[in-house]
């Protein structure tokens, strides 16, 4: 069987089986976290600009944007996915270097709304999208991430699989949906190596492309079934010899959605281990930011390549500046949305501490990436006190997860300013019981 056919077979089998309780619970956690990312992103650019650009597709159709405005399914998927990836608080599948939620759930919700699907059908689609796309992302590995933005490329598979599952495509059409979306997959890392809005647009493109591929397959459009593993296919063109047998080996028995990372900071996930480690070492030493003479951060190479802005001046740059987020965490105690307000970007204490931070690649920690995201921190104070600390993982990773209560707190913190506290609490209560809803 071709790779896309193996994934299609899994989707067909899963449709006829009860959802494992743990997978169901974690799917609801993923949806709650997606809404936490979606709502603040929906009132910011590029989502607000996309509403203007795509006005002819709004105020009609069977899907809706974050705050309820009607939209066609493809446009809702595009705008909602971009919004969910804008504030850098969306989920991560660590081994695939990939944010599944933004594109996958956006496409799933648009299709479920358009087709009147139940909450359970919607959650099944989300699970299928996560399981297929995270396996493709993990197989493509670090070689793919060198040039490509996985949320744009791998996210296309998540969106297509989720949409195809909710549409109820048979195995043949499901396989063709995946084959078609493979050749749509795009998103270059260079697109966010300088200040731009391209990064969230990658998630939007992935969601829209996946939905289009599923919709086309439903009507009989075919794709090349060997497009993933073929001689000139996805695996060879954009990777370095993925092992597709290993990627598909545990489908239906090991659910990746149960091992998601939910962000505890509002910035690039590659900076999290350094933030967590710096805060912990600061606590252990009992020092203030102004006491620090030098701070050394050793971590894995992609963290420095992706989050390497030395002198950020915009929120987008600051979210990808390891020096800035570590400095603002030590100065202000956290890295949430307020960290990227204009006053904080020009805060003298933060800027002063940035000048004392030195970054380097730790070869041991680099060798463990992407399965481990760690940082080694050393602080020396002005009076000669010195301490070192290894942060072996990130708060929010599956080996140090956010509890359900912490996840709900994150949701309320991000959603309440947009919806109001009462509406946000009502929404999260509905999401925890989503499997019982006759319609999304």
For 197-249, the pLDDT digits (tens) are 999 999 999 999 999 999 999 999 999 999 999 999 999 999 998 999 999 99
Residue 358 bridge partners (DSSP): 296
pLDDT recorded at residue 111:
98
Q: Mean per-residue pLDDT for 109-119?
A: 98
Q: Mean per-residue pLDDT for 355-372?
A: 97
Tokens of 102: 């933004």
pLDDT recorded at residue 333:
96
Q: Mean per-residue pLDDT for 82-109?
A: 98
Say what percent of the chain tops pLDDT 90.
99
What is the Cα–Cα distance from 61 to 79, expressed in whole angstroms? 14
Question: Angle of helix 198-218 relative to helix 150-167, nearest 10 degrees?
Answer: 30
Whether 20 and 255 have beta carbons less than 8 Å apart is answered as yes
pLDDT at 32 > cutoff 90? yes
Whether 257 and 23 have beta carbons less than 8 Å apart is answered as yes
Say what percent of the chain tops pLDDT 70.
100
Q: Is 308 helix (H, G, I), strand (E, B) or coil?
A: strand
Q: Is 431 helix (H, G, I), strand (E, B) or coil?
A: helix
Tokens of 269: 């996930």
The average confidence (pLDDT) of the chain is 97
pLDDT recorded at residue 404:
98
Whether 4 and 118 have beta carbons less than 8 Å apart is answered as no
What is the topology classification, in CATH, of domain 3-264+402-436?
Answer: 2-methylcitrate dehydratase PrpD (1.10.4100)
Q: Mean per-residue pLDDT for 309-332?
A: 96
pLDDT recorded at residue 40:
98
CA 94 to chain centre: 10
pLDDT recorded at residue 308:
93
What is the Cα–Cα distance from 377 to 128, expressed in whole angstroms? 39
Q: Mean per-residue pLDDT for 251-273?
A: 97
pLDDT at 264 > cutoff 90? yes
Residue 299 bridge partners (DSSP): 361, 375
The ranges assigned to domains in the chain are 3-264+402-436, 269-391
Q: Mean per-residue pLDDT for 307-336?
A: 96
Whether 428 and 53 have beta carbons less than 8 Å apart is answered as no
pLDDT recorded at residue 241:
85
pLDDT recorded at residue 324:
98
Q: What is the pLDDT of residues 389-424, one digit of tens each?
A: 999 999 999 999 999 999 999 999 999 999 999 999
Tokens of 398: 């599956």
Q: Mean per-residue pLDDT for 134-163?
A: 98
- Report the top-level CATH class of 269-391: alpha beta
């Amino acid at each position: 069987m071709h790779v896309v056919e193996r994934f299609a077979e899994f989707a067909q089998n899963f449709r006829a089986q009860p959802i494992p309780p743990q997978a169901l619970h974690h799917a609801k956690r993923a949806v709650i976290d997606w809404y936490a990312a979606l709502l603040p992103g929906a009132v910011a650019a590029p989502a607000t600009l996309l509403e203007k650009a795509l006005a002819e597709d709004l105020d009609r159709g069977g899907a809706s944007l974050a705050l309820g405005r009607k939209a066609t399914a493809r446009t809702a998927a595009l705008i909602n996915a971009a919004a969910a990836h804008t504030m850098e608080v969306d989920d991560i599948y660590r081994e695939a270097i990939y944010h599944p939620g933004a594109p996958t759930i956006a496409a799933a919700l648009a299709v479920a709304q358009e087709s009147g699907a139940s909450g359970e059908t919607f959650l099944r689609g989300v699970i299928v999208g996560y399981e297929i796309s995270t396996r493709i992302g993990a197989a493509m590995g670090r070689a793919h991430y060198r040039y490509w933005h996985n949320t744009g490329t791998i996210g296309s598979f998540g969106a297509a699989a989720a949409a195809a599952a909710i549409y109820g495509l048979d195995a043949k059409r499901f396989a063709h949906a995946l084959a078609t979306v493979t050749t749509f997959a795009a998103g270059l890392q260079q697109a966010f190596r300088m200040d731009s809005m391209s990064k969230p647009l990658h998630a939007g493109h992935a969601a829209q492309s996946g939905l289009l591929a599923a919709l086309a397959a439903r009507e009989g459009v075919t794709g090349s079934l060997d497009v993933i593993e073929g001689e000139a296919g996805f695996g060879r063109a954009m990777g370095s010899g993925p092992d597709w047998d290993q990627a598909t080996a545990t489908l239906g028995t090991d659910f990746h959605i149960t091992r998601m990372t939910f962000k505890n900071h509002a910035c690039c996930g590659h900076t999290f281990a350094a933030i967590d480690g710096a805060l912990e070492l600061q606590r252990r030493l009992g020092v203030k930011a102004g006491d620090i003479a030098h701070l050394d951060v050793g971590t894995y190479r992609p963290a420095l390549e992706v989050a390497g802005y030395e002198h950020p001046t915009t929120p987008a740059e600051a979210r990808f500046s390891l020096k800035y987020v570590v400095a603002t965490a030590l100065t202000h105690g956290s890295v949430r949305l307020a960290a990227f307000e204009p006053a904080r970007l020009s805060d003298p204490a933060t800027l002063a501490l940035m000048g004392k931070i030195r970054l380097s690649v730790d070869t041991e920690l680099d060798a463990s990436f992407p399965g481990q995201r760690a940082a080694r921190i050393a602080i020396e104070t002005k009076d000669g006190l010195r301490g070192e600390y290894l942060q072996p993982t990130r708060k929010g990773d599956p080996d140090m997860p956010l509890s359900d209560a912490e996840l709900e707190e994150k949701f309320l913190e991000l959603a309440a300013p947009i919806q109001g506290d009462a509406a946000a609490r009502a929404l999260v209560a509905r999401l925890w019981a989503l499997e019982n809803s006759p319609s999304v």
